[in-house]
Structure 1
Amino acid sequence: MNADHFRRAFIQKGRRGLTTVSQQQQEADTYVRRDDSVEGLLTGLVEGDRYALARAITLVESSNPQHRVQAQRLLSKILEREATLASQQSTTLANSTPSLSKDEPSADAKEQPLRLGKSFRIGLSGPPGVGKSTFIESFGMYLVSKGHRVSVLAVDPSSARTGGSILGDKTRMTELSRSSEAYEEYVARNTTEAITLCEAAGYDICLVETVGVGQSETMVADIVDMFVLLVPPAGGDELQGMKKGIMELSDLVIVNKSDGALVDSARYAQIEYTSALKFVKAITSFWKARVIRVSSMGGPEGGIDKAWDTMKEYFQIMESSGELQKKRGHQRKIWMWRQVSSELMDLLNEDAQVREMASELEAKVLKNEVMSGAAAHKIVEKFMRGMSS
């Protein structure tokens, strides 16, 4: 991928915080002159350079073997750096004298960004029309006002094929996309690695949004610390149509749009969802899923601050109990095997003889001449013979 490719890509995407084409052109020209080596990208990430972050995410999302090698080298460097800094941080904390001040911070005080390795990964899902984009923009801007740096990763498994949203993030979250303390991106293949890159670039809150339907909810739940389900202010048929599986994944259910004429409907929906959760097994003994009502527009029923307070409580409980560390370790194991599956598929697709056989077998499976399981076995057998020859 050459400089012209990246310049065009960045201008087309209108990268975050840049309001004019000339600004975008100037920053893109500056970027392509930067060091594109692993060390150069690492330096850019540490400095919070969003173009280094964009380039790094492009590498981890790429199926190009050379890009994958470079991406893995970069990720290894990041882990080494974080381990060193975490060790230094532990030593500093152990030798520091606790503050004796009992002054309480004001309501408008900035929150301290989460410590290295203590970033908060929040998954957000919900049916079409629930107001997810409005919520994420309001929530993201609220977090920025509190001193956090926020990344928003929209997980769209189809974007590897379709290119993602036609109009892009800027039409969905105009205010957040302009913030220098926020970063938005579509990802498809390697969301966990994209999260690691965002955290390395200093984004201490990572919002992972599901796009589309299907298995993306389960995939996101296996990435994040907390899975949040947004639902509309309605019950009855809406609740019946909600998949039981997604309710089982949820740590928090937010009845959105609890304002104006919809307040009564939102209250009724809260009661119904609370009742439904009684029949759902808790994910952990340390936390029982809750249902709250929120107005993304900051109505009298409570705004974004209510949602954030609940999320912070969850994070503090999970961290202090040790459950957060256990959960992330389990997630890393899940994603290791998913990555194995993904890379094996890449190897199969790169083998010309396997592709030829697969094409023939697909036609036979389509005509019901061969069972899909038998066809799969033949493809794997062909690949293994090629590996051993």
Structure 2
Amino acid sequence: MNQNSKKSALKENDGIEQPDSISAKSVVQIQHFRKRQPSANELITAILNGDKTALSRAITLVESTNPEHLEKANEVIQGCLPHANKSVRIGITGVPGVGKSTFIEAFGKYLTSLGKKVAVLAVDPSSSISHGSILGDKTRMEELVKDENAFIRPSASGESLGGVARKTRESIMLCEACGFDTILIETVGVGQSETAVHSMVDFFLLLNLAGAGDELQGIKRGIMEMADLIVINKADGDNITKAKLAKTEYNRALHLFPMKNSGWSPTVTTCSAIEKEGIDSVWKIIEEYFHLTKENNYFNTKRANQNQYWLMETINDQLKNNFYNNPEIIQLLEENKKAVSTNEISPFAAAFLLLKKYFK
């Protein structure tokens, strides 16, 4: 018997042909939509009409490092600028594991129940190895993300200072132009990012845990000096007594710090974000702060100083980008890196040569 004529025990039967799950017409429409990029004027008009999709696309433009997107992004920002600055900006930070996402969701839902429109700009840490980010804040805020009066935008921190997204400031303005009256900015965690966030918000809230231990006090000290309110989260179950004790200790510590220019005396409160307890008290304290600072004109003075600060930061950022993207500098920099590593030239002399070449 011819061996080739033997039938294999493994036989694949013809299956039932499956119908197309997506119509060809829909595919063509989606592809056409994706290819077409809206103009700056179209984005501005849509943002001013409260279109969240247009807002997301504009923020993507602003965050892009593509030089071609810079001009269009600036045009969008300029068009939205007259409609911005009509919100309150609240920075929220805390040690990892303190429950920032849970608190922001509970706080955001409470604010929308009061008729507020809330935008959450959450900065996600980027890996120093793969340079990737999880961007999971929308997943963690399941309820808030479905709220019509809320907008959540996670952004990768990239290589910016302490994890603050490079264009968070511009994103705030776009959110304000879209009609969001309360902007919440969540930082990566405890570090240098708090200084940058403090320079772009009106109110700075520090989330803490009860019984965290003295090992964190050195980290907290600088942040506590910037904080307008300290909230002891997870004050529930067996942790209620510890939270009350921590509240007393932090209140004592705050008395050691000098008086703020705002005339506001920072305070401490407790809450349970998961149980949604004490959230209303947090907002009441924030309202008291805004009433005081608007009355004594500190609110407007701080905003004006922040605008000047970000003018200088933007100039520095643009000079840095132009320097490192200059073709002549790219080649010369690599040559000088090798020379510096072999001690042929000092780092300072190499830097002087590079800058002299750049400004020639």
Q: TM-score range by the shorter chain?
A: 0.7 to 0.9
Moved more, 186-195 or 45-54: 186-195
Q: Deviations over 1:194-243 (max 9, x none)?
A: 00000001111100010144321111000100010000012541552433
Contact 2:262–2:293 (Cα < 8 Å) also in 1 = no
Contact 1:156–1:164 (Cα < 8 Å) also in 2 = no
Superposition deviation, residue 367 in structure 1: 5.2
Aligned amino acid, residue 150 of structure 1: V
Paired residues for 1:147-186 under 5 Å: 147-156=115-124, 158=126, 165-166=133-134, 168-186=136-154
Aligned amino acid, residue 305 of structure 1: D
Aligned match of 1:346 = 321
Q: Deviations over 1:314-368 (max 9, x none)?
A: 1121112211111011111111111111111111122111112222333444556
Contact 1:169–1:177 (Cα < 8 Å) also in 2 = no
| Distance change in 2, residues 1:371/1:65 (3 Å) | same
Superposition deviation, residue 79 in structure 1: 2.4
Aligned match of 1:46 = 48
Paired residues for 1:57-76 under 5 Å: 57-76=59-78
Distance 1:183 1:30 in 2: 26
Superposition deviation, residue 33 in structure 1: 8.1
Contact 2:125–2:133 (Cα < 8 Å) also in 1 = no
Contact 1:160–1:189 (Cα < 8 Å) also in 2 = no
Aligned match of 2:223 = 246
Q: Is 1:133 equivalent to 2:120 in the alignment?
A: no
Q: Deviations over 1:104-156 (max 9, x none)?
A: xxxxxxxxxxxx74311000000011111110111111111111111111234
Contact 2:230–2:269 (Cα < 8 Å) also in 1 = yes
| Distance change in 2, residues 1:285/1:53 (3 Å) | closer
> 2:266 aligned to 269, 289, 292, which one?
289
Aligned amino acid, residue 154 of structure 2: Y
Aligned match of 1:16 = none
Contact 2:122–2:137 (Cα < 8 Å) also in 1 = no
| Distance change in 2, residues 1:117/1:214 (3 Å) | closer
Distance 2:316 2:33 in 1: 34
Aligned match of 1:255 = 232
| Distance change in 2, residues 1:51/1:28 (3 Å) | farther
Aligned match of 2:17 = none
Q: Is 1:195 equivalent to 2:172 in the alignment?
A: yes
| Distance change in 2, residues 1:212/1:236 (3 Å) | closer
Q: Is 1:120 equivalent to 2:88 in the alignment?
A: yes
**Count of residue pairs the alignment pairs up:** 327
Aligned match of 2:303 = 328
Moved more, 151-160 or 337-346: 151-160
Aligned amino acid, residue 377 of structure 1: F
| Distance change in 2, residues 1:164/1:152 (3 Å) | farther
Superposed CA RMSD in Å reads 2.8
| Distance change in 2, residues 1:31/1:241 (3 Å) | farther
> 2:193 aligned to 205, 210, 216, which one?
216
Superposition deviation, residue 276 in structure 1: 1.5
- Identical-pair percentage: 43
Aligned amino acid, residue 222 of structure 2: G
> 1:337 aligned to 287, 312, 319, which one?
312
Distance 2:275 2:32 in 1: 40
Q: Is 1:303 equivalent to 2:281 in the alignment?
A: no
| Distance change in 2, residues 1:281/1:26 (3 Å) | farther
Distance 1:291 1:376 in 2: 48
Aligned match of 2:12 = none
Moved more, 236-245 or 141-150: 236-245
Contact 1:155–1:210 (Cα < 8 Å) also in 2 = yes
Distance 1:196 1:27 in 2: 32
Moved more, 29-38 or 260-269: 29-38
Distance 2:250 2:29 in 1: 48
Q: Deviations over 1:248-282 (max 9, x none)?
A: 11111101111110011111111111121122223
Q: Which has the larger radius of gyration?
A: 2
Q: Deviations over 1:48-69 (max 9, x none)?
A: 1111101111111122223111
Aligned match of 2:354 = 379
| Distance change in 2, residues 1:53/1:167 (3 Å) | closer
Contact 1:235–1:268 (Cα < 8 Å) also in 2 = no
Q: Is 1:313 equivalent to 2:288 in the alignment?
A: yes
Distance 1:316 1:60 in 2: 33
Aligned match of 1:143 = 111
Distance 1:212 1:376 in 2: 33
Superposition deviation, residue 47 in structure 1: 1.2
Contact 2:93–2:190 (Cα < 8 Å) also in 1 = no
Q: Aligned to 2:359, what secondary structure does the other structure show? A: helix
Distance 1:160 1:239 in 2: 24
Contact 2:124–2:135 (Cα < 8 Å) also in 1 = no
Contact 1:235–1:272 (Cα < 8 Å) also in 2 = no
